[in-house]
Amino acid sequence: MKTILLLIHKEFLQIFRNRTMLPVIFVVPIVQLLILVHAATMDMKKIDCVIIDKDKSSLSRQLLHKFVSSPFFHIVRTTNSVNEADEIMLKNKADLIIHIPDNFEEKLFILNETDMQLQIDAINGLSAGLISAYANSIIANFNSELLKRRSGYKTTVSSFKIINIEFAYWYNPSLVFKNYMVPGILVILVTLMGMFLSALNLVREKEIGTIEQINVTPIKKYQFIISKLAPIWTIALFELAFGLILGKLFYNIPFEGNIFVLFSFAAVYLITALGFGLFLSAISNTQQQVIFMAFFFMITFILMSGIFTPAESMPQWAQEVNRFNPVAYFMRVIRMIILKGSGFQYIRHDFFIMIAFGICSLGLAIWRYRKVA
């Protein structure tokens, strides 16, 4: 035990003397939480619109006023030219074209129906869906008010029993996207700490030639592995705690679950990440090699983890492949604990799977390290 403690002390000194690792440990979490949370958002705060109002009636003005008064829509141009509106959208200066044709009001009062056109820039399908939902909501609200005015409010009330629908969104009542993104960013942060630092720490020993000196010492394999991984495991858990504090201070992220359950799962998850990083370093000879491999796996794991969109929306074959993605398990569990308040009984299946991942990952890394020792 004394040997392990001395080696861990040596590793901490080595880590904090490394100018490459220090920015990764202290700067990356601040950058990710203070910048990426605002950048990686699906909220539509500003939808640039071009208006083509060829009817210029009181009814068309009332409808357009609904869009103007909405906090989501920003009118960049009002024109009568379809070509000019198309040109603005081609220049990427407009997300939506609202086209109200001639005789809009007249058709509505004579034929009880009328037409209008919404042209949406659908390069980004998710944004286009949100724009369509916002616009259709405004039009539906306007249509409802118009029907009440035409039929008479008293007649409507006396003829039909009113059904009052109230919506309640569980776990994220205000639909704040930051509440959804901050836990995901924390998963990336912990994974980055565990995988990258463990991989870089060991391969650096190879580059400077000290790995051969360690291999000829009486230090046992398990002592060497523990001394290499324990400091990074501790640092990663510290980063998780630091990230939770920043999330609470800057974004007032709710924490409904048990902190012990979260850190227990994170501790097991880190064994998987550390083992995988150790495996990558064992099959690499330089830091450049291990960075390229770690970057490849990190991008794949993160994009398939469901950080932006639910993993359940992926094709069935991709969901089957995702069963072997440890990041996807942690991404789901951390949101369940922080936002839902899920206890251990609701995540125990994922917990035991993560233990199996950790055993396999660490076992493979140790086996490969023995091969090259």
Distances in whole angstroms, Cα of residue 56 to Cα of each of 77, 99, 103, 324, 348: 15, 11, 9, 59, 62
- Tens-place pLDDT, residues 7-65: 788 777 777 777 766 776 777 777 878 787 776 666 677 899 999 999 999 889 999 99
By C-alpha distance, which of 236, 189, 190, 205 is closest to 18?
205
pLDDT of residue 158: 44
**176: DSSP letter:** -
Q: How confident is the model at residue 159 (pLDDT cuts 50, 70, 90)?
A: very low
pLDDT of residue 197: 80
Q: How confident is the model at residue 271 (pLDDT cuts 50, 70, 90)?
A: very high
Give the mean pLDDT of the chain.
83
Over residues 318-339, mean pLDDT: 93
Distances in whole angstroms, Cα of residue 63 to Cα of each of 14, 115, 133, 160: 66, 13, 16, 26
Distances in whole angstroms, Cα of residue 6 to Cα of each of 1, 18, 82, 280: 9, 19, 75, 25
- Tens-place pLDDT, residues 101-146: 998 888 888 887 888 999 999 887 778 888 988 899 899 888 888 8
Q: How confident is the model at residue 220 (pLDDT cuts 50, 70, 90)?
A: confident
User: Can you say whether the dihedral through the CA atoms of 27, 32, 33, 38 is positive or negative?
Assistant: positive
pLDDT of residue 356: 95
Q: How far apart are CA 289 and CA 297, in angstroms?
A: 13
Provide CATH 3.40.1710.10 ranges for the chain. Answer: 47-159
321: exposed, middle or buried (C-beta count within 10 Å: 0-12, 13-18, 19+)? middle
Q: How confident is the model at residue 164 (pLDDT cuts 50, 70, 90)?
A: low
Cβ 368 vs Cβ 277: under 8 Å: no
Over residues 329-357, mean pLDDT: 94
Q: How confident is the model at residue 370 (pLDDT cuts 50, 70, 90)?
A: low
pTM for this one? 0.77
pLDDT of residue 157: 45
Over residues 77-86, mean pLDDT: 92
Cβ 330 vs Cβ 187: under 8 Å: yes
Sheet holding 47-53, edge to edge: 73-79, 47-53, 96-100, 117-120
Over residues 288-312, mean pLDDT: 85
CATH 3.40.1710.10 assigned to 47-159: yes
**322: DSSP letter:** G
More confident residue, 313 or 154: 313
Run of H or E including 119 = strand 117-120
Cβ 305 vs Cβ 325: under 8 Å: yes
